[in-house]
A and B are shown apart, each in its own frame.
Chain A
Amino acid sequence: MGKGRHGNDECAESNLRGRIVNPISRIRSVLRNLFRKQRVEKLLDDEVRACVEMIADERIAAGIPPSEARRSAVAEFGPIEQVKQAVRDRRTGLGVELFWQDARFGLRQLWRNPGFAATAILILALGIASSVAIFAFVDAALIKPLPYKDPNRLAILFESIPLGPRFHLSYPDYLDWKRDNKVFSSLEVYNPYGFMMKTADGLRNTDGARVSAGFFRTLGVKPVLGRDFYDGEDRPETPRTALLSYSAWQKRYGKSSNVIGQALVLDGDTYTVIGVLPRDFSFAPAEPADIWAIQKAGDTCRGCHGLFGVARLKDGVTFSAALADITTIAQNLARQYPDSNRDQAAFMLPLAEVVVGDIRPILLVVLGGAGLLLMIASLNIASLLLVRSESRRREMAVRGALGASPRRLVAQFITEGTMLAAIGCTVGVALARQGMQMLALLVPKDMMAGMPFLQGLGLNPRVTAFACVLAIFAAALFALTPILRFRSTDIRDGLAEGGRAVAGVMWRRIGTNLVVIELATAMILLVGAGLLGKSLYRLLHTDIGMQPDHIATVHVFAQQEKYGKAEQQVALVREILRRVESLPGVRSAGVTSKMPIEDGDWTTSFIIVGQPDDGKNKEVAIRSVSAGYMATLKTSLLGGRYFNDDEDSSKPGVVIVNQALAKQYFAGQDPIGKQLAFGWNDKKPMLVVGVINDIQEGQLDAKPRGALYVPFYQNPNNGFVVLARTAQDDRSTLSALTSTIASVDGSMAIFDPIIMNEKIHDAPVTYLHRSSSWLMGGFAGLALLLSVVGLYGVISYSVSQRTREIGVRMALGAQRSSVYRLILFEAGRLIAVGVMVGLIGAIGAASLMRKLLFGVPAWDAMTLSAVAGLLACVALLATFLPAHRAASANPIDALRAE
């Protein structure tokens, strides 16, 4: 190696790819390099030093004096440490080793700072857990396809009436739609209303549905046991048959294959079990359903509505073309059969819309909330990392000066960020698993039954992938923040004492921007939670036209054979009411054909006797109620009188109308004394004897609708609801109520005992509002906490950087109050910008979730100003602490700082 000559052999690195390499020797050296590091290092050192010595020996032999020979040998050899590093850098398993080194170093860094590590991991875990848990619901409801063949081609068909679009079809209408349409490859019907099943213990209310013969073929579902209905099995003359759901088969028959051929008595008819449906089968619009019985053809009543259609679109037919086609058919039917079909239009929705349409907006809003929370959490950790990187400037500078390549320094940050993200994510996903189970348990049982797609909620591949994507983003953010901070120039500056002022400015720019984003995001979440909370309050305090406290209710269904005649039904109800009213603590009792706060079904059209037909169909809700019903609900009588207890078929027909009906059909006149009838041929008109306020028959958020009430004893039925207003705690009276009714006749089905307040509390619309406002409230609370902590961090850091400046100011005579002003002004600017940005975002977000709000405008000034005020106050409070610290600092100490 001649002096002054340099053979440029940079390109001499050979790559081993494509060559025959002994894998065992390879593995051995990796292991040796990793685990016998000290020995390997020692040998390398020996080897390199021996080489230098030998060069020196050559020189001495050539007659150069030893000291000079040694010096020139070292010069020829080059920097020993760099040669050794070059060897190390080429070693096999280098990547593994470097990662291992960085990881160990990173872990030590985290360990040395347990407060920081715990905070960062906890914050990230909470953020990830909330996002992943909510995403699992979104996935189950909105992403996972419904369990049918080509679920996107399925539609649910309704008849729309002036009261609303989603009402039932009648069987003759269905047959006409099925025959005349050119757009569906199949059109079937279902009726989701369950059965009264005869058992050894009397009647039992059983969940189930009736479906036409091709129903399961339309969905593309095949039984796992037995057979499907065959075409034409719904003809009146064939025997009645039924399929069981998988869970009913398991529960009631212990999965025995002998179930095929078993007889079931449903609503008085005998059905034979012919098959069992697959385990994962569910049909949300008719769930819960244990029994799927055949819907027999032959019903010729065009005005009797009790069916929904389910149809599969033909290939190439668009949804709107299909709707147009059945709309034409419905118009033709309305012309052809004006008595029954006037104002009955066709309506259809994609199946998925019917299944998840109600919860989609809520899920998306809550997912958005969780995402914003995760964003705040990540930004918070990023700003923590920024603060930490500040204290590591010197470390980085020293490592850089000692020859660590920029790549290596960056790799250190990437490793640390990745580790933090990985730990946080793992904890977060574990929390999310618990969280989603807990959230699922909070869903009321009835609602859960209507959302079968939520079964099997968990960490499926999609949810796991989502969590991984979040982890990657988090890792990238955590790695990038300090990298951005340490640009190459910084590393050189870091060694110099004075480097701090520049760094402070740099840090402040990033840090303050982060805080502004955090504050704005917290503002958006707080406004969202505030609006949802307010609309929940409005919903729960909406006027439902009754006093729901202390009301116990239970459904009763008496056997048709024993109570088929009107007199029998009247006698039964009189006896039940007599016994219930004599129960201790019962103030009053009544019966109705259908509970309030439900779906608003059971409607009728009517005419006003003596008024010419105006060509419009008058359709209103109808309830058959006993004389004590309205007193029990404590409705208010606006005019006329309630029913008398003796008003039965021997007395003239009477009717009570609600305010909405009176307004709609008797505008400007007194309805009392008018006569109503159910049709032009009806020979028994009813006299309007009273007007009451609007009882909410539909869901809490539904608009008031016309309703008419007829005396139960004039319109009896063998199925009804018994209500009792009680003096003491209503829950305890439920069992007394049930056993008293059972004592009248044990063979009746007595089911769904519930107190009215609970019914309101558990109503789907209440539940959706409550759960979303609680979740958003939780997210918003956490967001507020995190953003305020972030602001506190930024201001404290800024104060600590300016300690000297503040000391100088105070030494020069600045008042403490001006120091406060200095700090609070800086913070105030950040807060103001954050709140302003947040306000704009909040209004945007609120208008996106307008659909979810009840009785509250998206622009609710009170919520907006209250949230802005709250955020500003809490934020100022958080900055007051560092400001106070700065102002009360001793100027001498402050000057000595640094």
Chain B
Amino acid sequence: MSSKQTNLLQGTLDLLILKALGPGELHGLGISRRIEQITRGTFLVKPGSLFPALHRLEEAGWLSSFWGESENNRRAKFYRLTKAGKTQFEVETEQWAKVAMAMTNALKAI
């Protein structure tokens, strides 16, 4: 699937970011790697999409950020979920489940 393009649905990236940050804070590259890992390599997020999304979610108040040290002692910007972000994650997960169920059923229908 390496060269295949997988379209991210509208809003999917936000949900994946919120999911990736569920266990704890990560920096930008960490989030990218985590998404790659949890989607088993299906979604690759380019920096040109990731950073704008991170900044947008932070402006929306769902993420907060702080500067910290990376594994290699580099100064990096870390993101974590805010309380609003956690609520939003639940809301969006629920919505996603509904959409996914609906889509699966629709496609199964004869």
Contact of A92 among B8, B9, B47, B59 (CB under 8 A): B59
- What's the interface size class on B, roughly? 35 or more
* Cβ-neighbour of A22 out of B42, B43, B84 (below 8 A): B84
B11 CB within 8 Å of chain A: yes
Flag if A50 contacts B74 (CB, 8 Å): yes
Chain A neighbourhood of B6, CB < 8 A: 7-8
- Asked if A11 and B7 make an inter-chain contact with CB atoms under 8 angstroms apart, the answer reads yes
Residues in A with CB closer than 8 Å to B43 are: 7, 9
Partner of B70, one of A25, A54, A84: A54
Question: Which of B3, B70, B84, B87 is in CB contact (< 8 Å) with A50?
Answer: B70
B5 at the interface (CB under 8 A from A): yes
Chain B, 1-45, contact with A by CB distance < 8 Å: what is the 0/1 string?
011011111111110000000000001110010001000011111
Residues of B within 8 A of A82 (CB): 48
* Cβ 8 A contact of B10, one of A7, A14, A20, A44: A14
Instruction: Report A3 CB to chain B, min CB distance, Å.
Output: 10
A5:B2 contact, CB within 8 angstroms: yes
A86: chain B residues at CB < 8 Å are: 48-49, 51-52
Residue of B nearest to A79 (CB): B48
Q: Contacting A51 at CB < 8 Å: which of B14, B28, B36?
A: B28
A21 touches B55 (CB 8 A): no
Interface residues of A in 681-700 (CB under 8 A from B): none
User: Is A19 within 8 A of B60, CB to CB?
Assistant: yes
- Give per-residue flags for B70-96: 1 if the beta carbon is below 8 A from chain A beta carbons, else 0: 101011110000001001100100000
Q: CB < 8 Å: which of A12, A25, A44 contacts B60?
A: A25
Say whether A57 contacts B60, CB under 8 Å: no
Residue A47, interface by CB 8 Å: yes
Let me know if A29 and B59 touch, CB within 8 A.
yes
Q: Contact at B10–A11, with CB atoms within 8 Å?
A: yes
Q: Is the CB of A4 within 8 A of B3?
A: yes
A77 to B29, CA, bound (A): 10
B19 vs chain A, min Cβ distance (A): 14
Contact B77 A78 (CB under 8 A): no
Residues of A97-153 at the interface with B, using a CB-CB cut-off of 8 Å, are none
Given A12-B8, A50-B75, A54-B74, answer yes or no on A90-B44 (Cβ-Cβ < 8 Å): no
A409 → B minimal CB distance (Å): 22
Contact B2 A1 (CB under 8 A): no
Residue A43 at the chain B interface, CB threshold 8 Å: yes
B56's partner among A46, A47, A90 (CB-CB below 8 A) is A90
Q: Given A1-B44, A7-B43, are A87 and B8 also a contact pair (CB < 8 Å)?
A: no
Nearest A residue (CB) for B55: A87
Contact partner of A83 (CB less than 8 A), chosen from B42, B51, B58, is: B51
CB-based contact A46/B48 at 8 Å: no
* Pick from A26, A46, A87: contact of B52, CB under 8 Å: A87
B60 lies within 8 A of A78 (CB): no
- Residue A55 at the B interface, CB < 8 A? yes
CA–CA, A51 and B41, complex, Å: 20
Residues of A within 8 A of B100 (CB): none
Q: A6 and B44: CB pair below 8 A?
A: yes
Q: Which residues of B contact A641 (CB under 8 A)?
A: none
State A24–B60 Cα separation when bound (angstroms): 9
Q: Are A22 and B61 in contact (CB under 8 A)?
A: yes
Contact, CB under 8 Å: A51 / B46: no
* Chain A residues whose C-beta falls within 8 Å of the C-beta of B74 in the assembled complex: 50, 53-54, 57
Closest to A93 in B: B59
Residues A25 and B7 in contact, CB atoms below 8 Å apart: no
Interface size range on A against B = 35 or more
Q: Does A2 contact B (CB under 8 A)?
A: yes
The reply to whether B27 and A50 contact each other, CB–CB distance below 8 Å, is yes
Q: Which of B45, B49, B59 has the most CB of A within 10 A?
A: B59
Task: Verify if A862 is at the interface (C-beta below 8 Å from B).
Answer: no
Q: Nearest Cβ distance between residue B100 and chain A, in whole angstroms? A: 17
Closest to A23 in B: B61
A471 to chain B, nearest CB (A): 35
Is B28's CB under 8 angstroms from A6's CB? no
A89 at interface by CB-CB < 8 Å? yes
| A200 interface residue per 8 A CB criterion | no
Q: Is B28 a contact of A47 with CB atoms below 8 Å?
A: yes
Of all chain A residues, which has the CB nearest B33?
A: A1
Shortest beta-carbon distance from B25 to chain A in Å? 14
Pick the contact of A43: B13, B46, B56, B77 (CB < 8 A): B77
Q: Which residues of chain B come closer than 8 Å to A12, judged between CB atoms?
A: 8, 10, 12-14, 45, 49, 53
Q: How long is the Cα–Cα vector from A14 to B36 in the complex, in angstroms? A: 19
| B49 contacts A47, C-beta separation under 8 Å | no
B45 touches A7 (CB 8 A): yes
> How far apart are the CA atoms of A16 and B28 in the complex, in Å?
21
Are A5 and B70 in contact, CB atoms less than 8 angstroms apart? no
Contact assessment for B29 and A54 in the assembled complex, using a CB-CB cutoff below 8 Å: yes
- Cα A51 to Cα B54 in complex, Å, equals 13
A78 to B28, CA, bound (A): 15
Shortest CB distance B84–A (Å)? 6
- CA gap between A10 and B44 in the complex, in Å: 12
A251 nearest CB across to chain B (Å): 66
5 contacts between A and B (CB under 8 A): A12-B10, A12-B12, A16-B60, A50-B76, A91-B55
- Apart from A7-B42, A54-B74, A90-B52, what are 8 other A-B pairs with CB-CB below 8 Å? A2-B41, A4-B2, A13-B52, A14-B53, A14-B56, A47-B28, A86-B51, A87-B55
Residues of B at the A interface (CB closer than 8 Å) are 2-3, 5-14, 27-29, 32, 36, 41-49, 51-53, 55-56, 58-61, 70, 72, 74-77, 84, 87-88, 91
Chain A residues within 8 Å of B, Cβ to Cβ: 1-2, 4-16, 19-22, 24-26, 29, 43-44, 46-48, 50-51, 53-55, 57, 77-78, 82-84, 86-87, 89-92
